[in-house]
Structure 1
């Protein structure tokens, strides 16, 4: 294995992967199954974990290879969204944020006002979209209910809708 650059990943869970299904002193447990990766794969994957699961109807324990990538959190930037112009309250949010007093030189104050306004607009729109999403889900459920009713009773006429 070493000559061909294969490395055992290691195990989480039961140590063995096979059992002869006997009880007491006749019981034999062995590790037949393992996961091998070469060094290039280990470098690219960053975190690899092999888990031996519980055996149910077999003499082998199933194994699962889980690959994890370490993610580096990038700093999040909020950019102005043109859709915010369609919100009637957006002008109020901006004027209210712009009137606040901040401490610092002119560039710092300007930067703080921009950041504050973008954050306020972002969270307002996020909240607004949440309302839209819940309304959308409610309407979908209503449509499905109507479709089931239609399937049960045949085509609906105007009187049956309301």
Structure 2
């Protein structure tokens, strides 16, 4: 079971829905937490209805700020809402494929000290009300130590102490991470660059015993100044299977496709041989002609991930410039991908 948490900084962004589709395609989350959606009510529901989830809990926005969504697939988990506020969603999770039953909290910590203190108290109170395995996913808006920050002011020791006290009261441990060290950046030039690790998963001992192999990964950051964070309760290596040949109707709209058919037919003397040749050549043509868009998108994301890892240890002006260039390239490729899907939908 996978859980993805992402502070999207606005669900009305042009590429928000396509990026969520990508997260679903590559990481298959059962639960998706989206923070700072900055949209609520019927407009939020309209967007959620276009996403591949059939369960949802939404919090109210704070003016044009805030907004917290918890989305899930009900064929995999049963989600019971326990409590909800503008900055917190507390639920009980029953995993349908097993007998496991645990508590899941999605929390967005306000940058304002007064509201943050209320949140710490709320979490401490929640801890006193149950003895379930418990995991918290959140944007804490607070580094725990100096190692969690690069640039800007030093970590406020009094604020981080209150944070640590809350975690101790809740018997929480940091689940760690792999990937780029920092989850948020102000995306400024290197002299003014600030990076922080503020998006985290915490769990109590009972939850850790329930999922001893659980793994957290910081995914590539794009479309927001926060990166998505992936929690895999039972990490598995994905196996790529050979797909059977499938004819795509949108091929017929491309002027170069008849040449593919002609080559396969003219170079074969038997129907079965011609059919096999066509399937092979059509797949190669599709991969080179259309598939390069998807391959290029994945290549750019892989480069972005390497750049963001490097920026966590040795930031430089050249790396900042390279990240910005790659983000622009990614936007261009996403626009091309959108045009391709539009072509497919018109033909099909």
TM-score, with structure 1 as normaliser: 0.41
Instruction: Name the TM-score, length of structure 2 as normaliser.
Output: 0.20
More strand by share: 2
